[in-house]
Structures are given as structure tokens and as C-alpha cells.
Amino acid sequence: MSKTITVIKGDGIGPEIMDATLQVLDATGAGFEYEFVDAGLAALEKTGELLPPETLETIAKNGICLKGPLTTPVGKGFSSINVALRRHFDLYANLRPAITFPGTKSRYDNVDVITVRENTEGAYMGEGSMINDDRTYAEAKIIVTRKGSERIARFAFETARKANRKKVTAVHKANIMKNVSGLFLEVCEEVAKDYPEIEFDSLIVDNTCMQLVMNPERFDMIVTTNLFGDIISDLCAGLVGGLGMAPGANIGKDKAIFEAVHGSAPDIAGKKIANPTALILAAALMLEHLGLGEKATAIREAIRGVLADKDRLTPDLGGNSHTGDFAQAIVERLT
Ligand SMILES: NC(=O)c1ccc[n+]([C@@H]2O[C@H](COP(=O)([O-])OP(=O)(O)OC[C@H]3O[C@@H](n4cnc5c(N)ncnc54)[C@H](O)[C@@H]3O)[C@@H](O)[C@H]2O)c1
């Protein structure tokens, strides 16, 4: 029986890059069925809600969602629909690979780093934060738990094992934040003992940033807490040509949402010039998650080929082709 995927086309360039991505997914022969639902601005216009219950129910039923970028209207409800989705489904692991592709504007030609970011605790809790009336004092809570640290550390090592990765680096600030960051590091060190075939080391976050910029081949997989992971994964995206090439996955116990890291790009929406690569790479992560790694590899190889050919690239990649032509070039290499 074919697998049904929940698809949220998203706002702005979302529908354009999603159509291109589904065309590529279909060309792999994966044979998925798609159930289309809305969130964000599109949902607000149709139903009056940014995240309608039907959308949540469909994701809960199918377990897997491919999501285009969403516009969160300023001043309406919660601050981010993406954060709300992660919380609702307890998607505790944010997986962000940064891999160099040929022909993209990047500083290095050999970057291949996966960042695993804890997605549910750390400095992102919101609860308990305050600012006083005269705005002279603010405070926020950082929460790190043994349970949260252990499940993200295990996720990182299990992912490393499956992907044949050689090393996991725990990134922390335990020298200063002795309790919160210290607990995270302590748990990572304990979990590492269960994976003797994978090299483990740890590095302070400021040094990590410098090393990533000067010496990125030192890294294979990084595991870290929420805020550090947010910053480091964007730094890594910058090392491989920016957000246009950056996919992300939010993974929980039995639900997962795959997305491009960039936003809905309202400045180019409807012009058919958006680069769909990040969402196509997110679809490749989804295939890997579903045990279809060979199809994911085929997609990445096809993207490499199209980038090397240089004849049907979108404007951000230096070409003058439309989103659909770029996707068609990938499809032709897959079929
Ligand atoms: N995951 C998500 O759903 C997500 C992530 C970030 C921002 N957003 C939302 O997106 C909206 C716009 O945010 P923003 O303008 O700060 O960031 P953005 O990522 O949408 O755009 C930043 C710049 O990058 C360009 N760009 C982005 N994706 C591109 C692509 N695929 N091809 C070519 N060019 C691309 C845009 O044209 C723009 O110039 C906001 O409402 C924001 O809340 C959503």
C-alpha cells in the first residue's frame, strides 16, 4: 500500500516550490499519495485560523508532513506556527544537514556537516520570562532536562550510525553555564559510551563557530541545545551558499515534518523564479526517514548534475530559468 504524506503548500513561494518538489518526488517512483491541507496565511484566509484542527488531525493520522514556508502575520495569535507545530507534536529533534553543492556561492567546496538541534527546551521555553514595567530588567528561564538531553543525544548517535557518520561533537558552554550546559554535556558523554564505533568529542560554542568558519572539515555531526543549534545551523547554511540550499527536518517519536529552512519570500512570490532546491532536499530527507535512502541519493545526484550543467538554473543560482524548468531538469535526470 502506498504511503500518504500530508502536504502543506505554504504561503508566498510555497505553492511554486512545492509543485516543483512533488514533481521530483513522483519522478523517483516512490508512489506516494498526498493529502493537501493548509496552515499559515492560506489557512487564515479560508478558515479564520492559522493552524486549523483539521491540519493537525491529518498530520497526526499520516505521521509524515512535507511543509512549504508559512507566513506568520504580525500581531496575530502565537509568534510562530512552526514553533507551535513542533510543540504540538513534540518534534524534539531538528536535523539540519549542510552539504556543498557545485556551482553555488560558497566559501568551501567540501562542507558536509549535520547539525542536530534539541527543539523543545533550552532557552526557547517562553514560560516564566518577564520584563519589568519600566523596561529596565528582563529575565528568561533556560531549562535542560536529563530526559531531553538523552533523547537528543541518542537521536544524534542513531542518525550517525544509520548515515555511516564517523564523529559526533557535542557543542556546549559548560565552562560558564555549569548547570544547564553542564548537564547536557554530561548526558552526551554518557550516551556516547553506548556507541563505541563513533568518535565523540565536545567543543565550547564560541570556539565551534570559529572552527566552523576556518576549518569546517573538522566536523561531521554536531549535537547541541536549542539556541546554539539555531545559530550554528544557520552558520553552516552560510558555509554552503545560504538558505536556498538548506533543508530541515523536525522529528519526534512517531511524527515528522520536513521543510525548507527559508521563509515564504513574499518579494518574489508569483514570479516563478524561486529556487526549489531546499524543499527538494527536505523531501530527500523525508525519503531517508522512510527508509528510501537510495531515492534520496538519486535526488541529490540529480541536483548536482543540474547545478553542474548550469543551463536551467533559477536567478539566485546565476541562471534565468523558471522554478518549473529547474525542477524539470532534475526530473529528466531521474527518469
Ligand atoms: N519555515 C518557515 O515557514 C519560515 C522560515 C523563515 C521565515 N518564515 C516567514 O517567511 C516570511 C518572509 O521572511 P523573510 O523575508 O525574513 O525570509 P525569507 O527566507 O522568506 O527571504 C529572505 C530572502 O531570501 C530570498 N529567498 C528565500 N527563499 C528563496 C528561494 N527558495 N529562492 C530564491 N530566493 C529565496 C527572498 O526572496 C528574500 O530576498 C515571514 O513571514 C517569516 O515569518 C517562515
* Nearest atom, ligand 1, residue 70 CA: 3
User: What is the pTM for the complete model shown?
Assistant: 0.94
How far does the centroid of ligand 1 lie from the alpha carbon of residue 243, in Å?
A: 9
With beta carbons less than 8 A apart as the criterion, state whether 166 and 218 touch.
Answer: no
Distance 65 CA to ligand 1 centre (A): 20
- Pocket residue to mutate for ligand 1, from 72, 82, 264, 281, most atoms within 8 A of Cβ: 264
What is the DSSP pairing of strand 4-8 with strand 64-67? Answer: parallel
Give residues with Cβ within 8 angstroms of 50, minimum separation 6. Answer: 39, 40, 41, 43, 44, 72, 73, 76, 77, 78, 81
User: Which element (helix H / strand E) includes 168?
Assistant: strand 167-172
Rounded to whole angstroms, the maximal C-alpha distance in the chain is 64
30-85 pLDDT, tens digit per residue, is 999 999 999 998 899 999 999 999 999 999 999 999 999 998 776 555 568 888 89
The cell numbers describing 60, all together, are 497526526
- Rg of the Cα trace of the chain? 20
Domains and their CATH numbers in the chain: 1-97+250-335 (3.40.718.10), 107-239 (3.40.718.10)
Q: Report which of 222, 212, 195 is spatially closest to residue 116, judged by C-alpha positions.
A: 222
Q: Which residue has the cell 518577564?
A: 130
pLDDT of residue 335: 87
* Atom number in ligand 1 closest to CA 242: 24
Say how many residues make up the chain.
Answer: 335
User: For residue 1, what pLDDT is reported?
Assistant: 65
CA of 263 to the centre of ligand 1 (A): 3
The three grid cell numbers given for residue 164, joined into one nine-digit string: 555511516
- For the chain, 335 residues long, give each residue's pLDDT as a single digit of tens: 689 999 999 999 999 999 999 999 999 999 999 999 999 988 999 999 999 999 999 999 999 999 999 987 765 555 688 888 999 999 999 999 999 998 888 889 889 999 999 999 998 766 778 999 999 999 999 999 999 999 999 999 999 999 999 999 999 999 999 999 999 999 999 999 999 999 999 999 999 999 999 999 999 999 999 999 999 999 999 999 888 889 999 999 999 999 999 999 999 999 999 999 999 999 999 999 999 999 999 999 999 999 999 889 999 998 999 999 999 999 999 98
Query: 258 phi and psi, to 5 degrees?
Result: -115, 135
Task: Give the residue numbers annotated as catalytic, written as ranges.
Answer: 124, 173, 206, 230, 234
Tens digits of residue pLDDT in 23-44:
999 999 999 999 999 999 889 9
Q: What is the pLDDT of residue 2?
A: 84
| Spatial CA neighbour of 215 closest among 316, 111, 137 | 111
Ligand 1 closest atom vs CA 17: 31
Between the CA of 277 and the centroid of ligand 1 the distance, in Å, is 14
* Cα–Cα distances in angstroms (integers) from residue 313 to residues 98, 170, 327, in the given order: 20, 37, 9
Order of strands, sheet of 247-251, starting from the edge strand that comes earlier in the sequence: 33-37, 4-8, 64-67, 256-260, 247-251, 93-99, 112-118, 221-224, 167-172, 199-204
Residue 230 has a pLDDT of 93
Distance CA 289, CA 10 (A): 22
Indicate the top mutation candidate among 41, 86, 262, 320 to test ligand 1's pocket, ranked by most ligand atoms within 8 A of CB.
262
- Locus of grid cell 538548506: 246
Q: Which backbone phi and psi does 286 adopt, to 5 degrees?
A: -65, -45
Nearest protein CA to atom 16 of ligand 1, as residue: 263
Answer yes or no: are the C-beta atoms of 294 and 242 closer than 8 Å: no
Q: What are the contacts of 33-37 at 24+ separation with CB within 8 A?
A: 33/2, 33/3, 33/4, 33/5, 34/4, 34/5, 34/6, 34/7, 35/4, 35/5, 35/6, 35/7, 35/62, 36/7, 36/8, 36/9, 37/6, 37/7, 37/8
H-type alpha helices, the chain: 14-27, 41-47, 53-62, 81-88, 146-162, 180-192, 205-214, 226-239, 277-289, 293-309, 323-334
Closest residue CA from atom 10 of ligand 1: 263
- The residue whose CA has the least distance to atom 6 of ligand 1 is 263
- Nearest residue to 262 (alpha-carbon basis) of 281, 249, 245, 284: 245
Residue of the CA atom closest to atom 44 of ligand 1: 263
- Kindly give the distance from the C-alpha atom of residue 141 to the centroid of ligand 1, in angstroms, as a whole number: 29
Ligand 1 neighbours, Cβ below 6 Å, are 13, 17, 69-72, 82, 243-244, 259, 262-268, 274-275, 278, 316
> Which residue's C-alpha comes closest to atom 15 of ligand 1?
265
